[in-house]
Structure 1
Amino acid sequence: MTSPVPPPPHPLDYTLATSTLDGPRGPIVVVVAGGDLDIVAHDALAAALTDTGTRGDVILDATAVTFCSSAIIGLVHTVHRRLAAAGHRLVLATEAHALRRPLHLLRLDRVLTITGDVAAARARLDRAATDQPEPAAIDSDG
């Protein structure tokens, strides 16, 4: 089931949608974001992540992000902390340089769980739910 987030009353440079997957610990909500995630997108993304975070684990699919502002990075970190406090997980699915580079520079890649795509994010959540050890990660950024 997919439900689009209502657009604000101005031109959009971003897209948002949500869907739900069945997971071993309950629902996994997938928030799909693309385009330029800047202050214009902040409130809509915050609403989508806040609403979904009350239902279980969350995958933020940012594979189509072309720009990410510091406000969005702060939002992702805040949502990660809130979900963890509630016993849920946030997994960021992206290979987008627009997100990976600032997260690396801020060392948030050591705090957040980041995978290359939604399938890998789903697998990470499934392994965590069954307490299976994580495979060794190879950092391609050096």
Structure 2
Amino acid sequence: MDTSEARALFSAEPSPFTLRELPEVTVVELAGELDPVVADRVSGLLTAAVDRGLPVVVDCGAVRFGSSTILGAFYTAHTRAVKKGTRFVLVTDKRVLLRPLAALGLLDAMVVVPDLPAALRELELWDLATQLPDGDR
């Protein structure tokens, strides 16, 4: 699935998922309950983001629940990014995600940061971090 197909899939109905294609990075914003029902949609979006070949930031700041299937999708996307020679950064400070990530050993396997500015700093995209709207800083 390429990014235009992903955008079409996610714009066909109201969705708590957003794909932002910036020149230096792809930002995937996820929200709500990430259960097995939405796992294929999220996985497709993550694949499209990674396939752009740029660093990927997955912002889970508005996620209320993440199933093990979603955690697997995060790890699969991370692995895909590494194989493509790019970076994958997961943004969350939510215990609902951090605790299972820690239990599975994924906090040590992936880059996980608490907020979007930290993700951009991790990727050395300083200019983008300073351009964020006040609500995102």
Give the TM-score range, shorter chain.
0.7 to 0.9
- Structure 1 distance, partners of 2:94, 2:19, is 19
2:75 maps to which of 74, 77, 80: 77
The alignment status of 1:64 with 2:71, answered yes or no, reads no
Tell me which structure has the larger Cα radius of gyration.
1
- Structure 2 distance, partners of 1:75, 1:19, is 19
- Structure 2 distance, partners of 1:36, 1:59, is 19
**Misfit runs of 4+, over 2 Å:** none
Per-residue CA deviations over 1:33-58 (Å, capped at 9, x if unaligned) read: 01100111111111111111111110
Unaligned runs of 5+ in 2: 1-6, 126-137
Q: C-alpha displacement at 1:69, in angstroms?
A: 0.3
TM-score (norm 1): 0.76
Letter in 1 for 2:18: A
Letter in 1 for 2:101: L
Distance 1:119 1:21, change over 3 A: farther
Query: Which secondary structure does the structure 2 equivalent of 1:53 belong to?
Result: helix
Count, aligned residues: 117
- Structure 1 distance, partners of 2:12, 2:78, is 24
Structure with the higher fraction of residues in strand conformation: 1
TM-score (norm 2): 0.79
Q: What percent identity do the matched residue pairs reach?
A: 32
Unaligned runs of 5+ in 1: 128-142
Query: Which secondary structure does the structure 1 equivalent of 2:123 belong to?
Result: helix
The alignment status of 1:6 with 2:22, answered yes or no, reads no
User: RMSD value over aligned CA atoms?
Assistant: 1.9
